[in-house]
């Protein structure tokens, strides 16, 4: 009888570990997209860009998109849409794409 109790305890322990493991996995999956995959992300933290590539107006740091792993800033959301529709047309004006 004592042996069976031990088995139950072991099963409960295993189930507990499984649950913790599942939570840990889910936590990892959630945090993945927020972390930049490339170290280049840290470099683009210093904003080289001063003006909107679409209108030439000063940028708003809250309006940006990511193109080829680099952040591109705009003066207004409409410019972001224009850029996203045809990015190649505008990247020539962006310092972060000049090497
Ligand atoms: Zn603009």
Number of domains in the chain: 2
Residues bordering ligand 1, an ion, CB closer than 5 Å = 52, 54-55, 74-75, 79
- Whether pTM exceeds 0.75: no
Query: What's the 33 CA to ligand 1 centre distance in angstroms?
Result: 27
Give the per-residue pLDDT at 98: 84
Alpha helix (H) residue ranges in 1-99: 2-31, 40-43, 77-85, 87-90
Please check whether residues 31 and 44 belong to one and the same domain: no
Most distant CA pair in the chain, distance: 81
Please check whether residues 56 and 71 belong to one and the same domain: yes
Please check whether residues 65 and 51 belong to one and the same domain: yes
Cα–Cα distance, 8 to 53 (Å, whole number): 66
41-66 pLDDT, tens digit per residue, is 444 457 889 999 999 999 999 999 99
């Amino acid at each position: 009888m004592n042996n069976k109790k031990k088995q139950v305890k072991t099963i409960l322990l295993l189930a507990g570990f499984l649950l913790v493991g599942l939570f840990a996995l889910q936590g990892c999956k959630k945090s993945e997209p927020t972390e930049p995959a490339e170290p280049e992300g840290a470099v683009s933290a210093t904003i080289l860009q001063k003006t909107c590539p679409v209108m030439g107006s000063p940028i708003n740091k809250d309006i940006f998109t990511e193109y080829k792993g680099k952040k591109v800033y705009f003066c207004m959301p409409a410019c972001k849409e224009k850029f996203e529709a045809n990015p190649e047309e505008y990247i020539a004006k962006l310092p972060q794409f000049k090497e």
